Chain A
């Protein structure tokens, strides 16, 4: 199948290259083939890197948790609270899903900046007298923007799983207790799917923390990318990339205990 051949070049061989590269040595004169664990040791010996990893995981978990809290009632609204405009409302959620995260990230710059819309409004309303700097270039702006750009990743799978439920079942589940015991468990595949999608997207973020994170909001992906654009330590960058992939695969293993992940992505074997 041509698809397999292409994916071999797109995925399998490149990841194999990462593994090989992670054992190479970076010298002043370039990368030297070797078999050494030094790059891995370098990661563990310098507390900066494990701390950065933990902070990025924490940020991604925060983004995922808030997205879930925001999305569940919203998906419920789409599945149960709409009739006539359902298609239009759904398309309005799907459109950002397919469009540029770079532009959607960028769109927060004029809003949160020191001369941005938020500060402008606060000053016009005389709530503050001087522009407030707390909105941009920190972890807050990164979390807010990641929630904004990846919210549809959470809404769509939850909506799909709620939409599949029998309406009469939900009518019967009209009080909170039945909601906990009937609706919520039945929509679990969508919830798990959304968690997986949002966590992976947030944890793998590069653009958002780079553009809006300042120095305190920097994430794992930024340091990874720096190994290829700034410091040119390709072997160490390969270690960081493999760690990123390992975290993602770990999450998938955990998630697959709760639901069939293949179905989450709409595939049928």
Chain B
């Protein structure tokens, strides 16, 4: 499988898969600059007008502010809780496997069923659905397993002799953590927080069933899809994609730098 012909076949095949993965997104970006009232071809010339329309759309700003606030709070809470869990897993404790399974379970339960189940829970508790109450719980639960796995993978590669050396030199556990452990794993933790932010910023289905009357950007896109379909939608999607790509690439680079 590694002779010349097979190798060039694999390369062409690889390129074809990338074309498949990226064509729709590239089309979406191109069409957001299309001077035409329809969301698709024909090409009517280059324009910024859909971005201008977006900039004048007050409700988009409200949604954007909501998405940013929610993403930020989700990232902070999720990273703290998930990080604590990852640290707890460095030492053995009773019921460890059961706890880990529970931490991984959200990966495999469809988001739709979670959304519906949370709706039932909050309804029964009498909690009014809202951005920073019910939706925040949904987003922290959703991102927590990712953060837990990312940080525990990082801790697994951590050289524990560094901590032992610090303790031998007389540092207590808290000093060792803040002076030795934390600075070394900080890029990994910041990277995980960026991923959690991106996941929250882009999340839709768990939001839909828990948000009540508030809006996030994905929710606004969804309701817009049902009514007005204009290239303004392409422009909104392009900006979200650009922001997500920037965050994920930053996160990957942060996690890669320390390898």
Contacts and interface: CB of A to CB of B under 8 A. Distances in A.
Interface of A: 1-4, 6-7, 9-15, 17-18, 21, 70, 73-74, 76-78, 80-82, 87, 89, 91-96, 98-104, 106-111, 113, 115-117, 120, 148, 151-152, 170-171, 173-175, 179, 196, 200-201, 203-204, 206-207, 211, 221, 224-225, 228, 234, 237-238, 241, 244-245, 248, 252, 262, 265-269
Chain A interface main SS type: helix
B245 interface: yes
B116 interface: yes
A74 B27 contact: no
B40 A113 contact: yes
B14 to A, nearest CB: 4
Given A3-B103, A266-B153, A18 B117 contact: yes
Interface stretch (B56-64, B138-146, B169-177): B138-146
20 contacts: A9-B137, A10-B114, A10-B140, A10-B141, A11-B102, A14-B121, A92-B22, A98-B202, A99-B244, A101-B202, A108-B24, A109-B40, A174-B1, A200-B110, A203-B110, A206-B205, A228-B209, A244-B110, A244-B113, A267-B104
Which 4 A-B pairs rank lowest in CB-CB distance, beginning with the nearest? A204-B110, A10-B141, A14-B117, A100-B202
Contacts of A116: 40-41
Contact of B10 (A81, A203, A241): A81
A39 to B, nearest CB: 14
Interface in B17-37: 17-18, 20-25, 27-28, 31
Given A73-B13, A98-B199, A1 B209 contact: no
A212 B83 CA distance: 39
Contacts of A82: 14
A265 B248 contact: no
Contact of B245 (A87, A95, A179): A95
Contacts of A103: 28, 202, 218, 221, 237, 240-241
